[in-house]
């Protein structure tokens, strides 16, 4: 069955109506954000996006807050993201976490994330595979750039 762009917009609007806490405004992203998929396993766009994010560019995200979507637990995490190139944006990650991972989340926590520089649609993913040395190097580079920008 083929779906038009209009029906996709209606689906996004329906998700925002069902879960106002997952609306673009509530997540702190602009109108270009495609929205949270009701079921990312059934969404071809979400599967493609997640595959691309696994190989995306590394950045650092400061956890702002999170919202549980279901009891899997599937959560939507909101980050203030800083890239190696100096770009800052609100990033949204749609993740399945273990209960242990969920209990360790704390606002203000800095975590490595991946994003798609060519797309810049606010989607990010936790970079669980990131090399700690590369993350440290990225963190040092961002800190150095911030120090030199303030002087």
Question: Pseudo-torsion of CA 67, 129, 118, 111, nearest 10°?
Answer: 50
What percentage of the chain's residues is helix, strand, coil (to nearest 5)? 35, 30, 35
Q: Which two tokens stand for residue 66?
A: 């999170």
What does the pLDDT read at residue 41?
Answer: 73
- The pTM (predicted TM-score) of the whole model is 0.81
- Work out whether strand 88-96 and strand 110-115 pair parallel, antiparallel, or are unpaired: unpaired
Which residue is listed with tokens 């079921």?
39
Contact (Cβ atoms closer than 8 angstroms) between residue 39 and residue 65: no
Contact (Cβ atoms closer than 8 angstroms) between residue 47 and residue 40: yes
CA–CA distance, 50 with 40 (Å, rounded to integer): 9
Residue pLDDT, tens place only, 51-98:
999 999 999 999 999 998 887 889 999 999 999 999 999 999 999 999
């Amino acid at each position: 069955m083929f779906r038009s762009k209009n029906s996709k917009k209606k689906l996004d609007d329906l998700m925002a109506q069902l879960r106002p806490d997952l609306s673009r405004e509530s997540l702190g992203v602009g109108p270009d954000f495609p929205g949270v998929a009701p079921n990312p396993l059934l969404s071809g766009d979400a599967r493609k996006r997640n595959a691309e994010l696994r190989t995306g560019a590394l950045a650092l995200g400061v956890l702002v807050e999170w919202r549980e979507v279901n009891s899997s637990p599937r959560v939507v995490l909101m980050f203030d993201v800083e890239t190696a190139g100096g770009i800052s944006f609100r990033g949204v990650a749609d993740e399945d976490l273990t209960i242990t991972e969920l209990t360790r989340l704390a606002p203000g926590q800095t975590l490595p994330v991946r994003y798609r520089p060519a797309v810049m649609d606010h989607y990010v993913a936790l970079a669980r595979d990131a090399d700690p040395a590369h993350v440290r190097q990225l963190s040092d580079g961002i800190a150095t750039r911030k120090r030199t920008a303030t002087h």
